[in-house]
Amino acid sequence: MTKVLFLVGNQVERGSFWRSSYFAKELSQLGYDITYLIISRTRRFGFVERQYKGFTLIETPDLFPVGFDPWDTLNRMWWLNGRRFDLIQIFENRPVVIFPALYIKKKLNIPLVMDWCDWFGRGGSVEERTNPLVRTLLRPVETFFEETFRHRADATTVINSVLRQKAIDLGVPPETILYLPNGANTTDFQPKNLQQVRKRLGLPVDAPILGYSGVMFHRDGLLMAAAFEQIYQACPEARLLLIGYVNIPVEQYLPTAAHAVIRTGPLNDFSKVVDYIAASNIGWLTLVNSGANQGRFPLKAFDFMAAGRPLISTDVADLGQMVREKQVGMVTQDDPTELAQTTLKLLRDLDAQEEMGRRGRRVIETEYAGPVVTAKLDDFYQRLLKEWRN
């Protein structure tokens, strides 16, 4: 049995947890022994160990902002002493991840795989921070940890073509890079009858509903608000459904349409998330064409597709390309008026919604379903281990 150490620089149910935990679960089902270290939300001392979806999840004690805590870093290195693994897979390169990874790699002489699924540093998400002082202070720090250690990996997994090219530009050999999209959850997210699920949730049965789930950057929220205000003026029955924890107060930027926003708030019951996704006519991905958005691929796109719902996406890197090439929705520039007009066109065409939704589900099942994507990672690991042992 192959023993793999996953090191994650976030907390449970935040950020890279979703991507990394899904692969840990799928690999466990293939027979891997996965030990998964993640930052505790509440603990300052001691570790919490539990079984989670087939793998061993360890919550590590933490004092300071996510990923940069020397206390957590040292605790992880201490905990790893005396334990045996065959391979290390890390998600993000912040101190609590990269230093324990390099320590155990040297100690055990085992291969290290680095995942790159977000562009944090210069030109990336650090530029989206609204506080200029925080942005200035964090820019060199995020850039250093994101870029400096890439050549120390024996292999690299990337979420899209933008980060693949960035890795190559930093000196990572192309032959050691695996394009690894998110694994889509086709078990929980299923096509459902729109009217029935809306009745169960108490949503307006016949209203055109645009769905969005999770956090967003501030500029994405402003784009969403500007476009929805125009949509509401042309179609007053339209509703904007914000699912789960959505961090931007979109309603504050809507002069006349604030009452047309339905906000669920945080949802502890995952089945509710599934239902609200299925209750949307369209998955509405209003991303500004920024470095931060170019350097990621939102998992929510696959959630809507798995639920049989079409997408409207701005033309950002691999996301826009996928929507266009797979014909699972419509693509627009990150201009509020064009976004609104494109959205209204699809909202009024129920047949197109249904056909694009069916096509999206087929694409997810054949190309992006968790087992399909994880099989590529499994093969990647086994080839790497074979080369390492030889």
pLDDT digits (tens, 9 = 90+) for 28-57: 999 999 999 999 989 999 999 999 999 999
Topology annotation, domain 194-368: Rossmann fold (3.40.50)
Contact 389, 109 (CB under 8 A): no
* H helices present in the chain, as ranges: 17-29, 70-80, 95-108, 132-147, 161-169, 194-201, 218-234, 270-278, 291-294, 300-306, 317-326, 336-347, 350-363, 370-389
pLDDT band at 65 (very low <50, low <70, confident <90, very high): confident
Residue 357 has pLDDT above 90, yes or no: yes
Instruction: Work out the burial of residue 201: count CB atoms within 10 Å of its CB; fewer than 13 is exposed, 13-18 middle, 19 or more buried.
Output: middle
Q: Which stretch of 6-20, 86-100, 287-301 has the lowest confidence by average pLDDT?
A: 6-20
> What average pLDDT is seen over the chain?
95
For residue 58, what are the CA distances in angstroms to 8, 50, 188, 211?
10, 7, 25, 34
Residue for token pair 């950002």: 316
Q: Which residue has the tokens 């696959």?
A: 302
3-state helix, strand, coil in the chain (%, to 5): 50, 20, 35
User: Is residue 66 pLDDT above 90, yes or no?
Assistant: no
Weakest mean pLDDT among 6-15, 31-40, 246-255, 288-297: 6-15
User: Which residues are within 8 A (CB) of 44 and not within 5 positions of it... i.e. 6 or more apart?
Assistant: 61, 62, 63
The span from the CA of 83 to the CA of 383, in Å, is 23
The distance in angstroms from the start CA to the end CA of the chain is 19
Q: Contact at 8 Å (CB) between 287 and 204?
A: no
Domain ranges of the chain: 3-117+149-183+369-389, 194-368
pLDDT of residue 254 exceeding 90: yes
Q: Is 104 in contact with 17 (CB distance < 8 Å)? A: no
At residue 16, the pLDDT reads 87
> pTM (2 decimals)?
0.93
Assign domain 3-117+149-183+369-389 to its CATH superfamily: Glycogen Phosphorylase B; (3.40.50.2000)
At 206, is the secondary structure helix, strand, or coil? Answer: coil
Does the structure show a pLDDT above 90 at 356? yes
What pLDDT, on the 0 to 100 scale, is given for residue 251? 96
**Which residue in the block uniquely carries the two structure tokens 């205000």?**
229
What is the rounded distance in angstroms from the CA atom of residue 121 to the CA atom of residue 131?
15
Q: Is the pLDDT of residue 345 over 90?
A: yes
CB count in 10 Å sphere of residue 86: 18
Mean pLDDT of 178-205: 94
pLDDT, tens digit (0-9, with 9 covering 90-100), for 148-189:
999 999 999 999 999 999 999 999 999 999 999 999 999 999
14 — pLDDT class (breaks 50, 70, 90): confident
CA 39 to chain CA centroid, Å, is: 17
Q: Does 194-368 match 3-117+149-183+369-389 at the fold level?
A: yes
Per-residue pLDDT of 217-236, as tens digits, reads: 999 999 999 999 999 999 99
Measuring CA to CA, how many Å separate 92 from each of 16, 89, 259?
8, 10, 39
The pLDDT-based confidence of 88 (bands split at 50, 70, 90) is very high
